Amino acid sequence: MNATNTRGGIHRFSYEHISVGISLSFLGGFLDAYSYLLKGNVFANAQTGNAVLLFISLANRDPSKCIKYIIPIITFAFGILLSHLFKSAQKCTDYQRLKLILLIEAILLLIISFFGSYLSNYLVNCVITLIAAIQVANFDKLDNHPIATTMITGNLKSSMIHLANYIVTKNKECLHSFLKYLLVIISFGIGVLTGSIAISLLSTYSILFCEVMIIIPFILISIEEKESSTST
């Protein structure tokens, strides 16, 4: 597989491009807002938040809420497991695998937009959480650095490490990495903000907005796949 760009001798693939990180991070923030505001105050992506709410519910002896929060945690874990088993099988190229994942995301979100109001919150949250898990397991790099497109904690840590390295070494690569992480973090916040506004206007159909954010990485990966096939 050929790199789309090189910098400092490190290969960059289209699915590690900042545009992909921004798009999918926006999507992650939007889905968290969607599941929390519309589907019973559950975080689709932030399993730490669900774990906190789960143990608070345990302390309050509220079994119904315990079930509500433990289901997405288990679903997220299953999604990560499934993703890595699929990676290990490697019966297709990385391009094909990532395009398939984006296509599945788009179809599932389309189903939720039109049928979500007829389905239980448990089921909708499971689907959204599965999407989040598969996304974070497969789109896990930004310019060869680890990234999470469904939460900000790890990205915030990485951004500060790169900023500290820049302050110490004055290496502009570290500054560039810091700024890219910052853009991804901001994108997540904008996704939450946009989701909140869209939900107030469009309710369950607001999730259709997410389809746009899937198109960008799909196009980038498709272009690179085509260039890679013609160059070999």
Which residue type occupies 39? K
- What residues contact residue 24 under an 8 Å CB cut-off, 6+ apart? 135, 139, 149, 150, 213, 217
Q: What is the pLDDT of residues 62-110, one digit of tens each?
A: 988 899 999 999 999 999 999 888 888 767 788 888 999 999 999 999 9
pTM of the shown model: 0.87
The pLDDT value given to residue 3 = 45
- What residues contact residue 133 under an 8 Å CB cut-off, 6+ apart? 75, 76, 77, 78, 79, 80, 82, 83
The pLDDT value given to residue 87 = 81
Helix or strand or coil: residue 86?
helix
For the chain, which domains are there? 25-231 (1.20.1250)
Q: What is the pLDDT of residues 180-208, one digit of tens each?
A: 999 999 999 999 999 999 999 999 999 99
